[in-house]
Structures are given as C-alpha cells and as structure tokens.
Amino acid sequence: MPADTSTINPFETARKQIDIVADLLKLNGGTREILKSPKRELTVNFPVRMDDGSYRVFQGHRVQYNMARGPTKGGIRYHPQVTLDEVRALAAWMTWKCAVVNLPYGGGKGGVVCDPKKMSQGELERLTRRYALEIAPLIGPEMDIPAPDVYTDSQTMSWIMDTYSMMKGFSVPGVVTGKPISLGGSEGRGEATGRGCAYVIREAAPHAGVSMKGASVAVQGFGNAGSVTAKLLHDDQGAKIIALSDSRGGITNSAGLDPHKVEAHKAKTGTVLGFPGAKPISNTEILELKCDVLVPAALENQITAKNASKIQAKIVAEAANGPTTPEADEVLFEKKITVLPDILANAGGVTVSYFEWAQDIQGFFWPLAEVNQRLERVMVHSYGEVHRVATERKVHNRTAAYVVAIQRVVDAIKIRGIFP
C-alpha cells in the first residue's frame, strides 16, 4: 500500500466531504455542525484470557453517527490500526451510504484494536463475546445493528448475536446482520457488496464510454468484495481481469486472469502471489495500470493527491470505504475519470443487510433470486439518481451522491425537529 496514507486523518476527510456538499446545499451553521458531529461514541477497554492463561487488555470503539432516519447500521472491524477517528469516519460514511440507497437507517461503526491473524479461534471468540458485552447497552434491532467488516465474518456475528441473546433471555437474530443462514442470515448476503458494485459499474459504463465486454479490469484487494466483483464482471459482463492483489502484493497478466482460479490458488496458498502465468505487481502499481475499470477494494486513502495524476482507468469503482481523498477527487474529475463513490458503489452490502434485518423481524425469508432482484432494483435506481444530480449540477459523482444522501438526512432532521 502507499506509505503516506498513515498521515491522512480519515475523519477530517469525511468532514471535508460534508463541507463541500453543505456549501452546495447552502446549509446553515447549526445543521452543518449536526452533520459533522457523531451523535454517540463509546470506547471500551476490556480484558481477554489468552490461550496461555495470561490476560491482555484490548480497546474497542462503537460510534453511532446519526439516527435521524432510523437505527444506526454498520460493521465491526478487527485490525491493529483501528483508531477512534477511523471509526468516526466510517460511521459518517455509513450514514450517507444508507441514505443514498434510501434505507431507513443511520450510520454506525465499530472496531477493536487487535491482530486477528495472530489470534486463535478461541481467543477471537472470547474477545468478541466480551466486546459484545461491553457495547450491549448501545446495540439492538431498534437502536444499532452491527455487521461484518475487515477481518470479521459470519462467525463473529454469530458470537455477538448469541451473547446479546443470552443477556436478553431469548434469541434476537435482528441484533446483527451478516449471520449464517442457519441463524437468520439472508441468501445473497455474502456476495452482496461485490454484486452491488458490479451492477453500478454496468450502469455507469455506457456513460463513461466503456463497453464491458472485453473491458480491462484491475482490482486492488482480492477479499470478499474485490473477488466477488471480479468474478461477476468476468462471468456476467465478459470483462477481462488483468490484475488482482491482496495485502501481500499483486499479480498481473494483460491477457487476462481467471478470478475463479486465482481464488482457488489463494485458498490453497493464502495469497494471490505466485499464481501461474502472472507477473508480480505492487499494490501501488496496480492503481496506476492502464485499464478501463479500476476497483479499489482494500483500505482507505489509496488514491491521494500524490498518485491521482497517474491513474489511467476510465472508471474507478470504490468497493472499499474511503479509498480516494477529496484532493484526489478533483484531479480525477479534471481528467474526466468516472468515479463511482464508495457510498454508492459498495452499498450492496448494507442493502442486503437491511433485507436480512427486515426478514429477521418478519420471521419470513426470501429466496436468492428475489434478494438479487431487489438488490439490483435498489442499485440501478440509486445510480440513476446520483447520475442525474451529477449531470444537473455539473459535479462529480461523489459530490452528487453526497447531495442526494445529505439532503435526505437534513430533511429528516428538519421534519423531526430538535428535542426538547
């Protein structure tokens, strides 16, 4: 990854993005301050018994950013570099993401400072259950619904759901989403982020002068979102995947890579590196490849003022959260590169999370085809609204997506009024 990203405060980035749109919408100072301030934050420090019998104290956060449109929604990440400002920024982005696809949610986010790659399954379970206990007063189906994020998964959500349910005395499947099917999870949830991203790329391609059949695609971050996006673009739209990467580095082949075979190789070896017939490439270099579609699907702050001028893609589809800084946005806009912003491009995950929550509350579940049809309708309609605003206001898609999202949140704040 680019080495300079650690100096960029993601919450400052999030606040700058709000200011840009607040100016466009001519919002007054009070409304602007509400939009730039998290509603509620919790930081917890808790002990966990390790496998060797010792105890370690871990720090975790949960931020509920805005509840004007409904309960907060957002993932929990386990990562050594988790900070409160990062969680604040992710919670803010979740607020706008839910609003841009018109879900009845606000945004939330959580994180624990840890290195899950160095922890056993037992240690991760004890950490998860204790963290869930610490944040339990703030979560629930009507208040705040966590989901998986970086280095958390359906097993993590199962432990949280079980811990919360034990405290309540009955099963509460709607407290989290991203659960296994057997615990009230939804069909299609696992691939929803990548599928939603692929739908948005398909809708944007004609406006960007790209024919998806044979289009060259580079994906930085071959995790869940990146791998699903790559496979769907390859299988359903006939695109040619020319580069893929993970946290250890990347691979490239101008003749094309089969993402299914790369996935099998990664499952066997733990990395995409060493895939037969591919050349190694760094995570920095993959961003600068000449291609039709670039999918940053790793971490935030990957495209910055320092490398934006080197981006050669026609479409940048943000499967990751916050991969492009505001300064880089302006450079890409001037270069007439179509950016599909994170709050739209990767909103498929939270959309199917909403479907899962709705199914849990009803106790009535939909087949996969229905889930995917509903997801496609949401993503296609949301892209259309963002494209319309971008065209009318002559702004780039991120600003347009924020205009759509922030206006919806502002409308909710105004019509509700301020209590008391």
Q: Which of 310, 340, 308 is nearest to 325 (CA)?
A: 308
Residue 44 φ then ψ, to 5°: -125, 145
- Which residues does 195 contact at the CB level (< 8 Å), separation at least 6? 188, 228, 232, 348, 372, 375
User: Out of 73, 97, 109, 314, which one is annotated catalytic?
Assistant: 109
Radius of gyration of the chain (CA): 20
Q: Is 414 a catalytic residue?
A: no
What is the length of the chain?
A: 420
**Residue 338: which H helix or E strand, with range?**
strand 338-340
Query: DSSP character for 303?
Result: B
Q: In angstroms, rounded to a whole number, what is the distance separating the alpha carbons of residues 173 and 153? A: 15
Neighbours of 369 (CB within 10 A): 10
Q: In angstroms, rounded to a whole number, what is the distance separating the alpha carbons of residues 387 and 128? A: 40
Residue 59 φ then ψ, to 5°: -110, 135
Q: In angstroms, rounded to a whole number, what is the distance separating the alpha carbons of residues 146 and 68? A: 18
Residue found by looking up tokens 């922030």 in the block: 406
Whether omega before 420 lies within 30 degrees of 0, making that bond cis, reads yes
Three-state SS string across 265-280, please?
Answer: HHHHHCCCCCCCCCEE
Q: In angstroms, rounded to a whole number, what is the distance separating the alpha carbons of residues 128 and 36? A: 30
Q: In angstroms, rounded to a whole number, what is the distance separating the alpha carbons of residues 120 and 131? A: 16
Residue found by looking up tokens 């990203």 in the block: 5
Alpha helix (H) residue ranges in 206-254? 224-236
Neighbours of 366 (CB within 10 A): 18
The DSSP code sequence of 163-224 is HHHHHHTS--GGG-SS--GGGTPPTT-TTHHHHHHHHHHHHHGGGGT--STT-EEEEE--SH
Q: In angstroms, rounded to a whole number, what is the distance separating the alpha carbons of residues 329 and 339? A: 8
User: Catalytic residue positions?
Assistant: 109
